[in-house]
Amino acid sequence: MLSAGLTLIFSMMGVLNFAHASFYMLGAYVAYTITGWIGFWPALLLAPLVVGGLGALFERGALRRVHKFGHVPELLITFGLSYVALEVVQLIWGRTALPFSPPPSLQGAAFTLVHAPQQSLSLVWGDAPAALCAAASCSKFPLTRAFMMLVALFMLLALWLLLTRTRIGLVIQAALTHPEMVEALGHNVPRVFMLVFGSGCALAALAGVIGGITFVTEPAMAVIVGSIIFVVVVIGGVGSLAGAFVASILIGLLQTLPLTVDASLAKVFQLGPETFGYPLLKLTLAQVAPILPYLLMVLILIFRPKGLLGTRED
Partner 1 sequence: MAAVMPSPPPAPSSAAAAAAGPFPTARATASDRRRAPRGSTYHFKPYNVGRWLVWGAYAAALIVAPLLWTSSLAQTMLSQMGIAIIACLSYNLLLGQGGMLSFGHAVYSGLGAYLAIHTLNLVSGGQLALPVSLVPIVGGLAGLGFAALFGWVSTKKSGTPFAMITLGLGELIWSMSLMLPEFFGGEGGISGNRVVGQPLLGISFGPQIQVYYLIAVYCFICTGLLYAFTRTPLGRMLNAVRDNPERVQFIGYDTQWVRFLAFLISGFFAGVSGGLSALNFEIVTAEVVGAARSGAYLLFTFLGGATFFFGPIIGAVLMVVALVLLSELTKAWLLYLGLTFLFMVMYAPGGFAALIMMNLRVAAFGKLRQLWTSYLALGVTGLTVLLGGSAMVEMLYHLQLNEALGPEMRYLGATLNAKSLDAWFGAGFVLLTGLALFEVARRQYKREWDEVQADIDKEIKRRESL
Using CB under 8 A, which residues numbered 198 to 227 contact partner 1? 223, 227
Using CB under 8 A, which residues numbered 262 to 281 contact partner 1? 279-280
* Number of amino acids touching partner 1 (CB under 8 A): 47
- Taking CB under 8 A as the rule, does residue 250 contact partner 1? no
Q: How far is CA 262 from CA 136, 146, 277, 290, in A?
A: 25, 27, 19, 14
Q: Give least dist CB 75 to partner 1, A.
A: 6
The residue from 190, 294, 308, 309 that contacts partner 1 (CB under 8 A) is 294
The residue from 65, 165, 191, 267 that contacts partner 1 (CB under 8 A) is 65
Task: Answer whether 241's CB lies under 8 Å from 12's CB.
Answer: yes
**HSE on the CB side for 201, CA within 13 Å?**
29
Strand partners, 122: 114
> Which strand (E) or helix (H) includes residue 115?
strand 109-115
- Taking CB under 8 A as the rule, does residue 261 contact partner 1? no
The residue from 42, 53, 126, 305 that contacts partner 1 (CB under 8 A) is 305
Q: Give least dist CB 82 to partner 1, A.
A: 8
Q: In whole angstroms, what separates CA 281 from the centre of its chain?
A: 32
Residue 288 and residue 211: Cα distance in Å, rounded?
A: 24
Instruction: State the helix-helix crossing angle for 241-256 and 292-303, rounded to 10 degrees.
Output: 140
Residue 93 and residue 27: Cα distance in Å, rounded?
A: 13
Contact residues toward partner 1 (CB under 8 A) are 16, 62, 65-66, 69, 71-73, 75-77, 79-81, 83-84, 86-88, 90-92, 94-95, 223, 227-228, 230-231, 233-234, 238, 279-280, 283, 287-288, 290-291, 294-295, 297-298, 301-302, 305, 314
